[in-house]
Amino acid sequence: QVQLGQSGAEVKKPGASVKVSCKASGYTFIGHYIHWVRQAPGQGLEHMGWFNPNTGGTVSAQRFQGRLTLTTDRSTTMAYMELNRLTSDDTALYFCARQGGNGNYALDYWGQGTLVTVSS
């Protein structure tokens, strides 16, 4: 069965970087884009960007451009989200999600989320 397993919670200081990993299993990794979505405490969902494991193509939301790096490792079916120059506003639950296929362009499977806390 399709599963996305994320790395554990992180605590970072302002100005630091964080790298969250997402292990995909149960499907053909290169056949589906991986998206990243975050949710600040008590707030709604925010789409950050996506990565195409087949071509290496990637797009990031404008507000993260220059700070966000999305990558994958096809050999280990891992996806990574690295966010630099962290501030307290980056404190959130970060999710990876798989984009569906065969006409379903929505996010059909999600990781369990990784809490990133930015605090001095």
Partner 1 sequence: DTQLTQSPSFLSASVGDRVTITCRASQGINTYLAWYQQKPGQAPKLLIYAASTLQIGVPSRFSGSGSGTEFTLTISSLQPEDFATYYCQQLNAYPTWTFGQGTKVEIK
- Largest separation between any pair of C-alpha atoms in the chain: 46
Give the range of 16-24, 69-77, 79-87, 110-118 binding partner 1 by CB under 8 A.
110-118
Is residue 68 within the footprint of partner 1 (CB under 8 A)? no
Rounded distance between C-alpha atoms, residue 16 and residue 31, angstroms: 33
Is residue 47 within the footprint of partner 1 (CB under 8 A)? yes
Query: Which residue's CB is nearer to partner 1, number 98 or number 118?
Result: 98
For 34, how many CA atoms within 13 A lie in the half-sphere containing its CB? 34
With b for 16 or more beta-carbon neighbours within 10 A and e for fewer, the 33-72 pattern comes to bbbbbbeeeeeeeeebbbbbbeeeebebeeebeeebbbbb
Is residue 100 within the footprint of partner 1 (CB under 8 A)? yes
Is residue 25 within the footprint of partner 1 (CB under 8 A)? no
Among 67, 71, 113, 117, binds partner 1 (CB under 8 A): 113
The residues that touch partner 1, with contacts defined as CB under 8 A, are 35, 37, 44-47, 49-50, 59-62, 95, 97, 100, 103-108, 110-113
